[in-house]
A and B are shown apart, each in its own frame.
Chain A
Amino acid sequence: MPQLPDFPVSHLSILESVKDAVFATDLTGKVFYVNKAAEKLFKYQPGELLGKDIGIIFPPGLRHERKKLIENILWGEQIENYETERIDKGKRTLYVSINLSPLTDEKGKLIGVTKVLRDITGKKRSEGKFQALLESAPDAMVIVNKFGQIVLVNAQTEKLFGYGRASLVGQEVEKLIPSRYSHHHAGHRKNFFENPKTREMGAGLELFGIRKDGSEFPVEISLSPLKIEDGLFVSAAIRDISSRKKSEAKFKGLLESAPDAMVIVDKKGLIQLVNAQTEILFEYNREEIIGQKVEILIPDRFKGVHTPHRKNFFAEPRARAMGAGLELYGIKKNGSEFPVEISLSPIETEEGLLVSAAIRDITDQKKAAGELKEYAERLENSNKELEQFAYVASHDLQEPLRKIQLFAGRIIDLEDRTLSKKAKSYFSLMQGAANRMHTLIEDLLAFSRMQGSDNEFEKIDIKTLIEEEISAFEVTIREKNAVIEVGELCEVNIITFQFRQLIHNLISNALKFSRPGESPHIRISNKMEKGRNLGLKDLQPDVNYCQITVKDNGIGFDEKYSKKLFELFHRLHSNDEYPGTGIGLAIVKKIVDNHYGFISVKSKLNKGTTFDLYIPDNHK
């Protein structure tokens, strides 16, 4: 049992009343005094610790601390608020803050050490809560002291930068920054500590972090000052914005690859973003127009109306064409104007509602449309001229011909007795030639009349029309003993005077090209059918067609000529066999075309010919 020094009782009772644990040891570490608070904290019986080595309260991993602390005391130093861990009798860890003081005798000789331990487990626990809070943050959190040393990081930081926690704590925070920025960073850091307030780091700048493996990535950082007992710290929340940057890049790529000039404007009418097409079209560099009012791209005379329109758009934002039906113009940097087409779309962004305007230069389109119109007019004019020409030519050709016929007739009449037989036969040949030419001109005139464009359609029952046309052939029908059968016929949408000519020509042909010694038999019939059911590829499937069939038992022809048959002046027979001009079927074809219809022909030599007409019930 060691000798107790002579302490006044009153002093001891003071120590016993203290809340902190107080130990006194000799220089070997043997405990010669503990207060009640110490026994309570470390869960020992009263007196149980007396005479024991102080090492009993050190955790096994911290034995080395003891030597270090004693050395400091021997050198006359004090140790204050040293935070560490100790264990109680049940080996449970306690967090403590320790103050060590040398213990001297009356002469000032060092005889031992006084330890005052304060239980800081509660404080540590709240630090743990703080850590948990840090861990639950979605961003990488790095807490830095005013020397720029990392004091705390969370798991996100480890994950993001690829470092273990232990290799970051105590390091300079510049370890996480690419070297080209780290120099500036240290300066900025000092500035922050001088004027600490929550803010974004490097607003408007592109920031990067660097991983353990040296790879960089774009980040966004927000800074907050953290004032605690131990002093001022800064907490940095670091967010990896790689994917956002990627989608931004995608958006920019999309913007740049757009065929139109794209101008993105904010609510105030300021240009936020433009693409390369905009630079080309308006001949500005993007730096010159970004941040400017969008009206810089609009001719002066439209500016007055544009501003209220822009405000209306933001009031009711929806994708639409600008100024539908109006002629819009843009203005280049050099002041020249050009016609444009503009479509607007609202874009919701973090910075608020924006509007994207896709602007297309329609100069070429307008020019082409103008040219097309001009061509159409010219074509129409030349068609009219041609029509006029055909008419006038035929008419004026007719005149002298009629005179030849007339005066030849006069001569035969007057000189009937004096003319020789031969002269008379020449006269009749001359008259025959003149008659043929007359027919030719008449037919040409008829053909030229079919070119008319202002044809009026009407829906009529064609049975009467056909019967009227048949009656015009009364004489021929009687002569040839012909039979013409007309089946039930329906109403057809036709240009009446043209259709009359068409029927006339078909009947005329059927009567003319009859087989010698055989009475002509002609059948005219029709039916109404949808285009799809008629088996002709040229017909529109959903349109109703009136199919009119004209079938004869005449001489027919070789079907290899069926295409040529409808060409102007094309004939399959000599004049001696069957006189004609080769215009009749050309007229028929022309009339069918004018009715937006189709004609086809089937024939067998010496068996007969069948014409099928397909006239649409309605044409648009």
Chain B
Amino acid sequence: MENTPLRILLTDDDEDDRLIFKEILEKMDIHTVVETANNGIELMDILTEPNRQLPHMLFLDLNMPYKDGLSCLKEIRSNEKFNDITITIYSTSTSQDDIDKTFRNGANIYITKPGNYNVLKRVLAKAVSQTHLKQDTTFNRSNFLLKI
């Protein structure tokens, strides 16, 4: 189990954010494999690719062109195939409305992107370790809600 890397898929249209995200995850103690998608359409293409190993954890930006994060969330949560994926909303929005709406639609973790690098590191570490901890237990993901 220690050797099984945690597969993470980040969907964010912001190149800078993808860069920083990968940098932080690489330095993390937990062994992760990070893939990225530039928008919602790419994400859904990746997830529905035949014979594809599904990620354990999904980071999802909300405000994206072509297909926004909320639509992706709804689509993923309506497909039982993806029941085991922990979904983390990864957005700049602090709106209570956005938080409520995404939790109602099956998000597990909500992260407001902080401006401070060290804070970001801490937040991502928390989200990843929480997910990693629960990864191999028979855990009911629909009751897992975390606001960071």
Name A residues whose Cβ lies closer than 8 Å to a Cβ of B.
Answer: 395, 398-399, 401-403, 405-407, 409-410, 413, 434-435, 438, 442, 445, 449, 497
Contact = CB atoms under 8 A, between A and B. Distances in A.
B3 interface: no
B113 A402 contact: yes
A406 B117 contact: yes
B92 A399 contact: yes
Interface string B133-148: 0000000000000000
B94 to A, nearest CB: 7
A256 to B, nearest CB: 63
Given A401-B115, A405-B116, A409-B115, 6 more contacts: A395-B92, A395-B93, A399-B92, A402-B114, A410-B117, A445-B95
A333 B9 CA distance: 78
A405 B113 CA distance: 12
Nearest to A435: B115
B20 interface: yes
Q: Chain A CB within 10 Å — which of B92, B95, B96, B115 has the most?
A: B115
Contact of A413 (B92, B96, B117): B117
23 contacts: A395-B63, A395-B92, A399-B14, A399-B92, A401-B115, A402-B92, A402-B113, A402-B114, A402-B115, A403-B16, A405-B115, A405-B116, A406-B16, A407-B16, A409-B118, A410-B117, A413-B118, A434-B115, A442-B94, A445-B94, A445-B95, A449-B97, A497-B96
B124 interface: no
Which of A395, A402, A413, A449 has the most CB atoms of chain B within a 10 A radius of its CB? A402
Nearest to B20: A406
B92 A398 contact: yes
Contacts of B93: 395
A413 B118 CA distance: 9
Contacts of B123: none
Contacts of A401: 115
B92 A406 contact: no
Contacts of B116: 405-406, 409
Contacts of A407: 16
Q: Taking each of A409, A442, A449, which has the highest tally of chain B beta carbons within 10 Å of its own beta carbon?
A: A409
A403 B18 CA distance: 12
A399 B14 CA distance: 9
A449 to B, nearest CB: 7
B120 interface: yes
Interface in B77-129: 92-97, 113-118, 120
A146 to B, nearest CB: 106
Nearest to A405: B115
Q: SS class of chain B's interface: helix, strand, loop or mixed?
A: loop
Contacts, number: 38
A406 B120 contact: yes
Given A395-B63, A403-B16, A406-B120, A438 B96 contact: no
Contact of B95 (A402, A409, A435, A449): A449
Interface of B: 14, 16, 20, 63, 92-97, 113-118, 120
Given A399-B14, A445-B94, A409 B117 contact: yes
Contacts of B118: 409, 413
A401 B114 CA distance: 11
Nearest to B14: A399
Identify the interface centre among B93, B114, B116, B120: most chain A CB within 10 Å of its CB.
B116
B16 to A, nearest CB: 5
Nearest first, the 10 A-B pairs at minimum CB distance are A405-B115, A409-B117, A402-B115, A398-B92, A403-B16, A406-B117, A497-B96, A410-B117, A409-B116, A438-B115
Contacts of A442: 94
Nearest to A449: B95
Nearest to B117: A409
B6 to A, nearest CB: 24
Interface centre among B16, B63, B94, B117 (most CB of A within 10 A): B117
Nearest to A404: B115
Contacts of A403: 16
Nearest to B92: A398
B100 to A, nearest CB: 9
A482 to B, nearest CB: 26
Contacts of A434: 115
Contacts of B95: 445, 449
Contacts of A395: 63, 92-93
A63 to B, nearest CB: 128
Contacts of A413: 117-118
B48 to A, nearest CB: 30
A23 B130 CA distance: 158
Contacts of A435: 115
A200 to B, nearest CB: 86
Contacts of A497: 96
Contacts of A398: 92
Contacts of A402: 92, 113-115
A608 to B, nearest CB: 32
A401 B113 CA distance: 12
A449 B98 CA distance: 12
Nearest to A401: B115
A88 to B, nearest CB: 126
B123 to A, nearest CB: 13
Contacts of A445: 94-95
Nearest to A406: B117
Contacts of B16: 403, 406-407
A347 B69 CA distance: 73
Contacts of B20: 406, 410
B127 to A, nearest CB: 17
Contacts of B97: 449
A135 B13 CA distance: 114
A406 B94 contact: no
A405 B119 CA distance: 11
A78 B92 CA distance: 141
A435 B116 CA distance: 10
Contacts of A409: 115-118
B70 to A, nearest CB: 15
A434 B97 CA distance: 26
A407 B19 CA distance: 11
A389 to B, nearest CB: 15
A413 B94 CA distance: 27
B115 A406 contact: yes
A444 to B, nearest CB: 12
